[in-house]
Amino acid sequence: MVGRKGIAGLTHRTAAAEADVPLGSTTYHFGTLDELLVAALRQTNEGFVKVLRSRGALQDPRTDLADELAGMMGEWLAGDRAGAELEYELYLAALRRPALRPVAAEWCEGFADLLARRTDPLTARALTALMEGICLQVLLTDRPFDEAYARTALGRLLPRRS
Enclosing H/E stretch for 28? helix 23-29
Residue 8 counted as domain residue? no
Q: What residue numbers bound the domain in which 153 lies?
A: 32-157
Per-residue pLDDT of 34-90, as tens digits, reads 888 888 888 877 767 777 777 766 778 888 999 999 998 998 888 878 878 888 888
Q: How many domains does the chain have?
A: 1
Helix 81-93 to helix 121-141 angle, to the nearest 10 degrees? 120
Residue 24 counted as domain residue? no
pLDDT confidence of residue 85: 84
Residue 5 counted as domain residue? no
Q: Does pTM surpass 0.85? A: no
pLDDT at 162 over 60: no
Q: CA 162, CA 147: separation in Å to the nearest integer? A: 24
pLDDT confidence of residue 123: 95
Residue 162 counted as domain residue? no
Residue 82 counted as domain residue? yes
Residue 1 counted as domain residue? no
- Can you give the CATH number for the domain in which 80 is found? 1.10.357.10
CA proximity to 41, closest of 100, 129, 106, 117? 100
pLDDT confidence of residue 1: 65
Q: Report the percent of the chain where pLDDT is more than 90.
A: 31
Q: CA 97, CA 48: separation in Å to the nearest integer? A: 22
